[in-house]
Structure 1
């Protein structure tokens, strides 16, 4: 649990650095800020009105948490938002809305790992539990809707046709591998269901994003 904030901070820093290397630095920073602010706003609304994720609350373990929402959560939205959008750019080079949908699905796939892991650590809790390791399906529907907005904002701010950053695709790939291995063999007890579900979901986007980089 002590490593959560450090890992997220490194994730956010790496994602921002890779985005700045491909796009104009100020645009990369603006895209990161917009994604983080959108994620924070969604979490702030969610913890008060149970929209769009369902009824949940943070336990206060993560700090600082202005307005009841940990800042590290906003950084996670920003960092993985940039990474998922780069994956979508690789998979769907053209078509803004199709790219936004693919990016939103790629970001939502990450939550198949994230929510079960954070529940294990006691960082937040659901009022009405659901069938996926205690997570309700409404959570994933909400994640997709918020992720769709995050993708659209990043795409609009970045505003250029360049292919997705290899570094950002690596960030997404690294998270997919780390989470899969973690749930399969590192965490105690291991959770083959989450390792399989999350690994297949994120792994699909990883394979699609790297397909043009591999020798044919």
Structure 2
């Protein structure tokens, strides 16, 4: 577990991702306590995403080098804009949806907040997949890592999307059929996220392979805190404050296999 959490002694830059990560957790706790649909909640949403995307870029830079950090930012943002712009124009691969004006300025119809949200979760998803697949046979490790990262990335959206629909940030033209317990988000969205995740994670994997310093210069604790809190903390908020029990249950169900796998890994390394 030391590789997950610890910054190397005397390496002050290794602590940099922790400040925005902790602030994100505190801000996310405030989200369900603010007025639904109000300007304060909109501001909290923006702050969460800005902090989360900062964690990803700072951690990628500190742990793998400036080229990787810049690449993570550019690759993720470009992929997000392309997929979202195509989705808005054609309905593929997510289904037909529209964004509200509450998310602010756009590029090709895509609110700036959206690629930042992808950035917030893409890098932690890849890091978690790297950890989960480290014992896979070498020849199969990369495709396994990409597939697991895409699944983690899509799983995060299972929790997020009902919350954002509830907040009025986007609307689905045909929200059914959806996952059991979620009647506001179609299954096509999950399929689209899996496809987009596979493309993005394959690109990030190639990026890290070509640019990253080895070994990483710090642990992965800060971005994994973001991922864990946005999933399990989000599920808690959905169950206790936001009136979204279906997505709360799905958040827990999707997290349990990951937690079990990490526990088994930790026991195996003792």
TM-score, normalization by structure 1: 0.91
Q: Deviations over 1:165-212 (max 9, x none)?
A: 23222221121222011101122xx22221011222134334434654
Match of 1:33 in 2: 74
What aligned pairs does 1:100-115 form with structure 2 within 5 A after superposition?
100-115=146-161
What is the Cα-based RMSD across aligned positions, in Å?
A: 2.0
1:56 to 88, 97, 103: 97
Question: In 1, distance between residues paired with 2:154 and 2:215?
Answer: 24
1:181 to 222, 236, 240: 236
Question: In 1, distance between residues paired with 2:75 and 2:260?
Answer: 28
Which SS does the other structure have where 2:171 is aligned? Answer: strand
Question: In 1, distance between residues paired with 2:57 and 2:95?
Answer: 30
Moved more, 50-59 or 200-209: 200-209
Contact 2:60–2:72 under 8 Å retained in 1? no
Cα pair distance change 1:79/1:210, threshold 3 Å: farther
Question: In 2, distance between residues paired with 1:210 and 1:118?
Answer: 31
1:197 to 245, 250, 253: 250
Compute the displacement of 1:21 (Å). 2.0
Asked if 1:45 corresponds to 2:95, the answer is no
Question: In 1, distance between residues paired with 2:92 and 2:82?
Answer: 11
Question: In 1, distance between residues paired with 2:96 and 2:255?
Answer: 26
Asked if 1:14 corresponds to 2:55, the answer is yes
Q: Deviations over 1:104-139 (max 9, x none)?
A: 000100111111011101111111122332211111
Contact 2:96–2:174 under 8 Å retained in 1? yes
Match of 1:126 in 2: 172
Q: Deviations over 1:39-86 (max 9, x none)?
A: 121011100011111111111210121221111110111120001000
Instruction: Give the number of equivalent residue pairs.
Output: 214
Moved more, 200-209 or 61-70: 200-209
Question: In 2, distance between residues paired with 1:27 and 1:101?
Answer: 21
Question: In 2, distance between residues paired with 1:100 and 1:72?
Answer: 25
Which SS does the other structure have where 1:143 is aligned? Answer: helix
Asked if 1:117 corresponds to 2:146, the answer is no
1:90 to 126, 131, 137: 131
The higher radius of gyration belongs to 2
Asked if 1:5 corresponds to 2:46, the answer is yes
Which SS does the other structure have where 1:61 is aligned? Answer: helix
Which SS does the other structure have where 2:93 is aligned? Answer: coil
Question: In 2, distance between residues paired with 1:134 and 1:87?
Answer: 28
Match of 1:146 in 2: 196
